[in-house]
Structure formats: C-alpha cells, structure tokens
Amino acid sequence: MLTRKQHELLCFINDRLAETGVSPSFEEMKEALDLRSKSGVHRLISALEERSFIRRLPNRARALEVLRMPELAQSAPKSKASSPPPAPVVPTAANDILEIPLHGRIAAGVPIEALEGQTTLAVPSALLGPGEHYALEVAGDSMVEAGILDGDYALIRRTEQAREGEIVVALIEDSEATLKYFRREGAMIRLDPANRAYTAQRFAPDQIRVQGRLAGLLRRY
C-alpha cells in the first residue's frame, strides 16, 4: 500500500508524463501536493523508488520513469438503472516512513551526546531493523572503500556492543566520534578506516565507547 501523498505524487507524475513526455519539476510537485518544502518531495520520490513504482533515469535532469501504478479495487458492475461509478479507492496510509533523530555531522571533537535532539530524518522503514536508531551525516572520506561517502546519512542502531569487523560509531575518550571498522588486536581496540590513504588507530578498551553500529545508509541526489 502507498500513503495518500505517495499515491497523489505517483498519479501526478504519470499524468504529466502522459501529457508532455517530461516529468514535472520538484517545484511543480511541491505545489501540486501542497507541501511546505522540496525535502518532502525528495522523501516521497525516494519511497516510490524504493518500492519500485518509479525509477530515476541516469545522467538526465528531471528524468523519472513510472514503472507501475498501484492496483485499485475493481468497480462493482453497474446496475440497469444508471448510477454514478464508485469513486476510486485511494490506498490507506502505511507506516513505511519513520522519523529518527538526526544528530548532525560525525566529526572530530563533537561527542554524539552533544548533538542530541537537534532534528529528525525521515527514513524508509525497510532500511531499519529492530531496535532504536539515529542518523549521522558523514563528514570526510575515510570510509569511501566501504561505499560510505561524504554527505551520506549513516543509519545507526544504538548498542554498546560490537562484533569483530562491524562498522561502528566509536566515541574516543568521550570527545571524538568516528565511524570505523571495529577490530580487536590483542588487548587493544583497533579502528580501521576504509580508505588506503588513512591508517588504523589503536586504543585501550577504556578509551573507547561504542555508541552504535551501522544499520543502513541513505544518500540524497
């Protein structure tokens, strides 16, 4: 099932493509759905893309393709006495978007606790598993070889435990937060980057506090 706004946007895009052959602009979509900002349009587009109703065509501006339309309940047969057709069935809202805390950029010198409660990020629930989650905006290129780029949103499941080889948010000496691979090396904790230009960091266990592990990644274009 699609939410009402997702259904409205899909129909608007499909109608515009049928009329002009060109998908509407984000400003036109915002106005058509009476949304307050284009960020709401981005969230709806991402949700429709995630559920394979539309796809973005690469290397082309304003290029959306409708892959399928939602199935609507079939109309009941008309009676002999002419009666107006039943109204289209609009799918009911589904809880497929979650708002999770967005704690800001994960950067040196900024403990995660200092970023609590700043704002929220709308995330497709399919990207999240069980547990409590928060998001961090990634700063830097130390994890590019793991596909984590500057400006991405790292979706983090809260936990104080980490297994070997997991990507975690580690708080170093209660002052510096970093996103790295977690590994044990003898009595030490080693935090490995995913970029050959950077070196691993080693710490005593009492210098590190695990704040969560990577559960997913969100990227906006």
Q: What is the pLDDT along the chain (221 residues), one digit of tens a residue?
A: 678 888 888 899 888 888 877 788 888 888 888 887 777 888 888 888 888 888 877 655 567 888 888 765 333 344 444 445 544 444 433 446 788 888 877 753 344 444 454 588 888 877 787 888 989 888 888 899 999 998 899 999 999 999 999 999 998 887 778 899 999 999 999 999 999 999 999 999 999 999 999 999 988 76
Catalytic residue (one of 5, 30, 46, 142): 142
- Does the pTM of the predicted model rise above 0.75? no
Three-class HEC string of the chain:
CCCHHHHHHHHHHHHHHHHHCCCCCHHHHHHHCCCCCHHHHHHHHHHHHHCCCEEECCCCCCCEEECCCCCCCCCCCCCCCCCCCCCCCCCCCCCCEEEEEEEEEECCCCCHHHHCCCEEEEEEHHHCCCCCEEEEEECCCCCHHHCCCCCCEEEEECCCCCCCCCEEEEEECCCEEEEEEEEEECCEEEEECCCCCCCCEEECHHHEEEEEEEEEEECCC
Predicted pLDDT at 130: 82
Active site residue 142: yes
Catalytic residue among 5, 23, 46, 180: 180
Full set of structural domains in the chain with CATH: 4-66 (1.10.10.10), 97-218 (2.10.109.10)
Residue 180 catalytic?
yes
